Structure 1
């Protein structure tokens, strides 16, 4: 049944497709780039279609190549997981999740106790940072939770958590706040205008254009810093419903004009196609989906 299946060529193709480079695939497989090229060409002849397009900094999958990669990558993951499960001491009880510092600190970490309680056999490692990882190239990361308005067609999107933005402050500050422009706590992301646009949209919805000229502005690069500043009474903060939920529950922040809210983006849990079948990843994504549903 599998006598004519080009196993070596498929393994080579998977590495080249995941890394988007024949050179990097060669280094991973301990062969030459020429050998990788020969294996890919042999596979293309076997199938009868082109799998890659050459681009200046590597290679890009064709539509046919993308379809094949999704299935081959998942199949090889399945085989690797079965082999690991057969070992006397399986090494598959860990997973790595990549996300931003703010999402990790303000939403994910406070809830992880429930994951560990439900799945004590698994250990989760957080890889927090501002730069998104390439899940198709970096095999060390199992899941990424990304904040964006766009879709990720090359990845498996497991679940999403939508958000809205409102203005919050320390209870005493909100109690005495009138229509006069207050001091504002804001976030200045280095690579996204989303937060600034959120302030503009909220001021327009609230009918408070004067707030665009605040009494003072205290800017931070991370949302969890901004929330701590607002809790300390430095000013009112525009905050995501996702990020502020625990502070509101604790009573350290209260909404100002709670009837005014603007739509935000979404936090989406992503992984490389096929990786969602890996037992720790499957368990984490199922747990995360339930947490997203309850907010």
Structure 2
């Protein structure tokens, strides 16, 4: 049934497609770049269509290459998982999740105790960075939680929740804001579209003139720092309804004029198609959906 499958060529293709480099694929498979090139040309000849666009200093998958890679990567991952499950005294399941430092600290980590209790055999590693990980090329990351207005194309994923930005402060700051102009806390974030006009939009809806020179504005580079500043009583913060949830639940922060909010983006959990069948990834997807539900 499978005797005619060119397994060596398919393995060479999967590696080159995931890494988008014949040279990197050769290093991964311990062969020469010429051997990788020959295997892929033979596969393209067999299929009668190109799988890669050969560009100066790099390669790019064609639409046919994308289609083959998505099915092949998932199939090989499932085979590897099945083989690993048959090994005696196999190690516990491992899972690497990529997300931003703020989301990890303010939403994910406080809830992870419930995941560990439900899945004690899974060893979870958090990869926290504001840089976007290319899941197609970095096989060390199983799943990413990303923030944005649209889910990334070409990946399997679920939308966890949409957010809104509102104003929060320590209880004494919220009470004081009704009588005098408060200090304002903002985030000078990497994606300027998300925060650049947030306070302006909120003040316009609220009818507050805080930005007309009267208010002191304190900026931080990370949402975590901004919320800690608000908890410490430094002023009112414009913050994500998702990231502020734990501070609200504990009573450290309270909303100021809770009915007024500015629309934000959303969070999605994503992986390379096929990887969602890997048991630790599937378990984490299910847990995330439950927590976000």
More displaced 10-residue stretch of structure 1: 46-55 or 165-174: 46-55
TM-score by length of 2: 0.96
Look up the SS of the partner of 1:132 in the other structure.
coil
Match of 1:235 in 2: 235
Cα separation, 1, equivalents of 2:217 and 2:210:
14
Q: Cα offset for 1:179?
A: 7.4
Determine whether 1:177 maps to 2:177.
yes
> Secondary structure of the equivalent of 2:242?
helix
Q: The residue matched to 2:284 in structure 1 has which SS? A: helix
Deviation at 1:242, TM superposition (A): 0.5
Query: Which secondary structure state, in structure 2, belongs to the residue aligned with residue 104 of structure 1?
Result: helix
Gaps of 5+ in 1: none
Deviation at 1:110, TM superposition (A): 0.5
The residue aligned with 1:36 is: 36
Aligned residues of 1:164 and 1:241 also touching (Cα < 8 A) = yes
Counterpart-to-counterpart distance in 1, 2:267 and 2:192 = 15
Post-superposition shift, 1:182?
2.2
Alignment partner of 1:2: what SS? coil
SS at match of 1:258: coil
Residue equivalent to 1:75:
75
Change (3 A) 1:215 1:292: same
- Runs of 4+ aligned structure 1 residues displaced above 6 Å come to none
Are the equivalent residues in 2 in contact too, given 1:182–1:211 (CA < 8 A)?
A: no
1:32 to partner: Cα distance: 1.3
Superposed displacement of residue 148, structure 1: 1.0
Instruction: Using structure 1 for the length normalisation, give the TM-score.
Output: 0.95
Q: Is the 8 A contact 2:157 2:271 kept in 1?
A: yes
Please give the residue correspondences for 1:121-132 in structure 2 after superposition, counting only pairs within 5 Å: 121-132=121-132
- 2: CA distance, partners of 1:264 / 1:25: 40
The aligned counterpart of 2:47 is 47
Q: CA deviation at 1:191?
A: 4.0
Per the alignment, residue 116 of structure 1 pairs with: 116
8 Å contact kept, 1:144–1:269: yes
Q: For residues 18-74 of structure 1, give each alpha carbon's deviation from its aligned partner in whole angstroms, at most 9, with x where no partner exists.
A: 011111111111111111111111111111111111233411111111111000000
For the residue of structure 2 that corresponds to 1:176, the secondary structure is: helix
**Is contact 1:203-1:212 (8 Å) kept?**
no
Is 1:24 the counterpart of 2:21? The answer is no
Cα deviation code 1:190-211 (max 9, x no counterpart): 3433122322322222223543
Q: Provide the rounded CA distance (Å) in 2 between the counterparts of 1:212 and 1:85.
A: 64
The residue number in structure 2 matching 1:196 is: 196
When the two chains are superposed, the root-mean-square deviation of aligned CA atoms in Å is: 1.5
Structure 2 CA distance for partners of 1:172 and 1:281, relative to 1, 3 Å: same
- How many matched pairs? 293
- Aligned counterpart, 1:86: 86
C-alpha contact 2:100 2:130 (8 A) present in aligned 1: yes
Corresponding residue for 1:56? Answer: 56
After TM superposition, the structure 1 stretch with the greater mean CA deviation from structure 2, 178-187 or 249-258, is: 178-187
3-state DSSP of counterpart to 1:286: helix
Counterpart of 1:225 in structure 2 is 225
- Residue in 1 that maps onto 2:152: 152
2: CA distance, partners of 1:178 / 1:56: 62
Work out whether residues 188 and 219 of structure 1, in 8 Å CA contact, stay in contact via their aligned partners in 2. yes
